[in-house]
């Protein structure tokens, strides 16, 4: 499922910064930038704020783009100076906003949340751009809670994000996801519909909207396992995703999408046994498709001859039917190399060579096919013809 990364979302919303950063990363500081900001006796709030702005600008020029962190000396100094400005003028909206923006830019999400809350109290008519930045903070807090397996907290953060920015498609998406996992299916459908209004035609949102409509048949435990597996898949952790889809299917054996996703991923990972189990589960259900049955046959044959060999054979067969006989011959030959006991691959290698009038090569391939499968009358017939050179 294509999910915009936490970092990308926030960076897009921090347009007021020269180089917006969204997640704390530690970068070793240069030796000349370790000194704390000088707080002059009698310093005014305006002077502290100016110092904070100057330090933030220096930090953007000094550190690599995308690395902003409160652990970096210049950013730490900028935040301290902003805090000093707020201490000296606690009701000044400009300084409150500056502090919130700095914490947002370095990805210090909890402090950023507190900072924006204080700013909104002082400036209840804040701009939409300010609210969008604060919404991005809520999104990041929500995503962090979700990854810590704290769904209730995550749901609250995503809801707060939508309160701040009603057009935030990512918060609508994740609010829908947390509602789905919690078993709040009606709410999930409403939120997915809202997300689709913001991102029309999004295939993943459409997929999960349909899942939400059927989720009551599977139950919260299976639905949650499926949803979490999708997150793992999005992150590229395929083995973990496969385990999650398998758990969903075991928990709700009528969950055809879980069987199907487990089977597809098992084939991709080359796990013939897992693919066979998954597609047997899918093919046994009323919602089974021709594709499920095709993949079941693939898994069955793959368990016997090896998935790589069978997939190579089927790709070669597709080339053959498309008229690319040269590529087909190379593919059939590769399938026999991957598994010399694969009689069908030898038979089709013989056929494509026979059609090219390569009778010696055809006889060699057909000979292997007949040796492996003495009951293959078609290969035996063409073997005699090839040996006769006709």
pLDDT digit string (tens) for 64-78?
999 999 999 999 999
Token pair belonging to 102: 């700095």
Q: What is the pLDDT of residue 25?
A: 35
- 283-300 pLDDT, tens digit per residue, is 999 989 999 999 999 999
Contact 139, 10 (CB under 8 A): yes
For range 226-232, the mean pLDDT: 94
Q: What is the pLDDT of residue 9?
A: 40
Mean per-residue pLDDT over the chain, rounded: 90
- 11-45 pLDDT, tens digit per residue, is 344 433 333 333 333 333 333 333 445 555 578 99
- Tell whether pTM > 0.75: no
Environment class of 109 (CB within 10 Å of its CB; exposed 0-12, middle 13-18, buried 19+): buried
Q: What is the pLDDT of residue 40?
A: 55
Q: What is the pLDDT of residue 38?
A: 54
Token pair belonging to 262: 């487990």
CA distance readout (Å), 356 to 324, 337, 343, 349, 353: 12, 21, 20, 11, 5
The 10 Å CB-count burial string (b at 16+, else e) for 232-259 is bbeeeeeeebbbbbbbbbbbbebbbbbb
Quick one: pLDDT band at residue 308, thresholds 50, 70, 90?
A: very high
Domains identified in the chain and CATH numbers: 321-388 (1.25.40.10)
- 130-166 pLDDT, tens digit per residue, is 999 999 999 999 999 999 999 999 999 999 999 999 9
More confident site: 204 or 39: 204
For range 294-316, the mean pLDDT: 95
- 236-262 pLDDT, tens digit per residue, is 999 999 999 999 999 999 999 999 999
State how far the Cα of 254 lies from the Cα of 282, in Å rounded to an integer.
8
State how far the Cα of 46 lies from the Cα of 351, in Å rounded to an integer.
86
Quick one: pLDDT band at residue 390, thresholds 50, 70, 90?
A: low
Give start and end residues of each alpha helix (H) in the chain. 6-13, 45-62, 73-88, 93-105, 109-122, 128-147, 151-164, 169-181, 185-198, 203-214, 220-234, 238-251, 256-269, 272-283, 290-305, 307-321, 325-338, 343-355, 359-372, 377-388
Rounded percentage of the chain residues whose pLDDT exceeds 70: 89
Q: What is the pLDDT of residue 389?
A: 82
Is the pLDDT confidence value at 8 over 60? no
């Amino acid at each position: 499922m294509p999910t915009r990364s936490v970092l990308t979302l926030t960076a897009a919303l921090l347009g007021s910064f020269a180089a917006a950063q969204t997640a704390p990363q530690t970068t070793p500081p240069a030796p000349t930038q370790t000194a704390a900001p000088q707080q002059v006796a009698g310093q005014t709030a305006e002077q502290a704020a100016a110092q904070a702005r100057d330090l933030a600008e220096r930090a953007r020029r000094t550190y690599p783009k995308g690395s902003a962190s409160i652990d970096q000396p210049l950013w730490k100094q900028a935040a301290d100076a902003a805090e000093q400005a707020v201490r000296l003028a606690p009701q000044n909206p400009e300084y409150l906003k500056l502090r919130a923006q700095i914490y947002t830019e370095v990805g210090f999400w909890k402090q950023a949340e507190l900072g924006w809350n204080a700013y909104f109290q002082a400036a209840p008519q804040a701009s939409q751009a300010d609210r969008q930045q604060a919404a991005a903070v809520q999104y990041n807090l929500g995503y962090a809670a979700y990854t810590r397996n704290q769904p209730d907290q995550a749901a609250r953060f995503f809801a707060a994000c939508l309160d701040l920015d009603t057009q935030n498609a990512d918060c609508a998406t994740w609010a829908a996801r947390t509602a789905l996992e919690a078993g709040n299916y009606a709410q999930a459908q409403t939120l997915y519909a809202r997300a689709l209004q913001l991102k029309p035609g999004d295939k993943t949102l459409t997929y999960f909207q349909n899942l939400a409509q059927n989720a009551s048949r599977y139950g919260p435990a299976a639905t949650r396992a499926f949803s979490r597996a999708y997150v793992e898949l999005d992150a590229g952790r395929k083995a973990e995703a496969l385990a999650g889809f398998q758990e969903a299917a075991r928990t709700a054996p009528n969950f055809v999408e879980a069987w199907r996703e487990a089977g597809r991923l098992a084939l991709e990972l080359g796990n013939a046994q897992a693919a066979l189990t998954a597609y047997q589960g899918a093919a046994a259900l009323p919602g089974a498709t021709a594709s499920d049955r095709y993949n079941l046959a693939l898994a069955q044959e793959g368990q016997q001859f090896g998935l790589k060999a069978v997939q190579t054979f089927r790709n070669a067969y597709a080339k053959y039917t498309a008229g690319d006989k040269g590529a087909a011959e190379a593919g059939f030959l590769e399938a026999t190399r991957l598994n010399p006991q694969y009689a069908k691959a030898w038979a089709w290698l013989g056929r494509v060579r026979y059609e090219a009038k390569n009778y010696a090569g055809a006889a060699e391939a057909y000979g292997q096919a007949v040796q492996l499968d003495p009951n293959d009358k078609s290969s035996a017939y063409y073997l005699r013809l090839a040996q006769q050179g006709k």
